[in-house]
Amino acid sequence: MKTPENWIIENNKLTRTFTLSNFVDAVNFVNKIVPIAEEADHHPDIEIFAYKKVKIKLLSHDVGEITERDVELAEKISEISRLN
């Protein structure tokens, strides 16, 4: 399985940190992730820190490892970030 561009494996999770312009943009970015995560019934761990950074961690909890579902959601999240 190929790791999506700009994503890394950290603590056995597919991970990426996004830096937005400010806190409001960080929250809005997270809110854009919610509908695609709900549609996929696959929910990332999300952390907002340093007021404008969003860290996303993906793992298929049901199997305890990174799967194609994680890669697909990571790619969709990356696409959202490019539209911001």
CATH number, domain of 36, equals 3.30.1360.20
Sheet with 13-19, edge to edge strand ranges: 8-10, 13-19, 53-58, 45-49
Q: Is 2 within the bounds of a domain?
A: no
pLDDT at position 1: 76
The domain tally of the chain equals 1
Contact between residue 29 and residue 21 where contact means Cβ atoms under 8 Å apart: no
pTM (2 decimals)? Answer: 0.93
Residues in the chain, total: 84
pLDDT at position 83: 85
Is the pLDDT at 80 greater than 90? The verdict is yes
Q: Is 1 within the bounds of a domain?
A: no
pLDDT digits (tens, 9 = 90+) for 25-73: 999 999 999 999 999 999 999 999 999 999 999 999 999 999 999 999 9
Q: Is 69 within the bounds of a domain?
A: yes
Domain range for 74 is: 8-83
Q: Is 3 within the bounds of a domain?
A: no
Q: Is 43 within the bounds of a domain?
A: yes
Q: Is 23 within the bounds of a domain?
A: yes
